[in-house]
Amino acid sequence: MKTPTDGWDADERDALDGLEPVLDDLQARHAGDPPIELLRAARAGVLPEDVQRRVSQQLDESAWNRALVDGFNDDPPGLTADEQSRLLRRIQQEAARDARPEPRRRLWLWQPAFAAAAVVVIAASVWILRGRETAPVSQDDPEAQVAVNTPEVAPPVLPLDKPAIKISAAALTFRGANDNQLLADLKPAFDAIRGDEYRAAVGEFTRLATQYPASVEVAFYDGIARLFLDDPNGALASLARAEQIGDSSFAPDIVWYQAVALERAGRRDEARTRLRALCEQKAARSAEACSLEPKLTQ
C-alpha cells in the first residue's frame, strides 16, 4: 500500500489494519487518474480543447473523479477581511501604475505571480507523467506569461432563467422505508434553489445523487444550480445524467438547459444542434429555440 511521505499516525494504522489489500486494489484502479488540478480545470472548462474533451469525458464517466472535484468545490474557502483588504490595495496599486506612462512595467511586475501559477501546472504534469520523459516548459517570454485577453463582454444569447420546480411521476410515486422519503429529502435542495442559494443546493444534490441515482430531479436541478454558479461544464455533466434517466416530462427542459450550458462553455455548434432538436418539437421552449438558434453564430 502506498504510504504518504508523512507516514500514518496511530489512529490511521489502527483503522487501516487489515485493509491493505482493499486499498492496494483501489490504488491500482486509480493509478492512471488525471491529477486534481486537471480535473478542476476541466470542470471549469479552461483546458485546451482536445484535453478538455478527454478530461470532461472522464468526468462524465467516472463518479469517482466527479466526487473528487465536488469535494473541493463544495464550499471553496473565501478571503478573510484582512486578505480582502490586502488584495484591494494590491489592485489599486497596480491600477495606479497603469495610469503612469510605463507600459511595460506592469507586465514585469506580474511575472512572479504567473511563474508561480505555472509551477502549479508543471507540478501537475510531473505528478501524472512521473517516470516519463517530460518536455521543457517554455517560460522565456515574460510578456506571454501575462497575455491579457479581452474579456468576453457580450452577454450570452441564450437567457438563463430559473425553471419552475416540478416533480416527475416517478418521484411522486416513490416509496421507500418511510413513505415518500425522496420528496422529503429533496425539500432542502429545492428550498435552496428557490432562495437562490445555489452552492447550498449543489451540496444537497451531490449528497442526494448517490442515494437517488435514478431521480431526474436530483440530476436536473443540480445542473440548473451549477449553471447559476457559472459552472457550465459541471452543469453539462449533471444534465447528461438527467438525460440518461429518460424521463419524458423533463426531456425538453433538459435539452434547453444543455443548449444554455453549451453556449456558456463555448461550444456554440453543439448548442445550436440542441436548439434545432428542440425547435422541431412542440414543447414550451420550442418557439424560443427556433428564434434564437440562428443568432448563435460562431
Partner 1 sequence: MGTFEELYQQHGQAVFRFAMSVVGRRETAEDLTSEAFLALYRNLDRIDQTQLPGWLLTVVRNRARDLWRRQVVEQRYADSVTDPPTVEPAAMESWILENPDLKPIHRACLMLRYVYGMTRAEIASHTALSETQVKGHLQYALSLLRKAYEGRGRT
- In the complex, minimum distance from the CB of residue 139 to partner 1, in angstroms, rounded to a whole number: 9
Residue closer to partner 1 by CB (options 74, 179) is 74
Rounded (10°) CA dihedral 260, 182, 209, 227: 20
- In the complex, minimum distance from the CB of residue 286 to partner 1, in angstroms, rounded to a whole number: 27
3-state secondary structure 7-63: CCCHHHHHHHCCCHHHHHHHHHHCCCCCCHHHHHHHHHCCCCHHHHHHHHHHHHHCH
Residue closer to partner 1 by CB (options 121, 172) is 121
- In the complex, minimum distance from the CB of residue 174 to partner 1, in angstroms, rounded to a whole number: 17
- In the complex, minimum distance from the CB of residue 59 to partner 1, in angstroms, rounded to a whole number: 9
Residue closer to partner 1 by CB (options 151, 248) is 151
Residue closer to partner 1 by CB (options 73, 238) is 73
Nearest to 143 by CA among 110, 103, 107, 102: 107
Report the alpha-carbon distance of residue 172 to residue 111 in Å, rounded: 57
- In the complex, minimum distance from the CB of residue 293 to partner 1, in angstroms, rounded to a whole number: 22
Residue closer to partner 1 by CB (options 21, 101) is 21
81 Cβ contact partners less than 8 Å away, ≥ 6 residues apart = none
Q: How many CB atoms lie within 10 A of CB 128?
A: 13
Residue closer to partner 1 by CB (options 57, 291) is 57
Rounded (10°) CA dihedral 52, 160, 277, 44: 10
Residue with cell 449533471: 238
- In the complex, minimum distance from the CB of residue 251 to partner 1, in angstroms, rounded to a whole number: 27
- In the complex, minimum distance from the CB of residue 114 to partner 1, in angstroms, rounded to a whole number: 7
CB contact at 8 A, 105 and 94: no
Residue closer to partner 1 by CB (options 211, 249) is 211
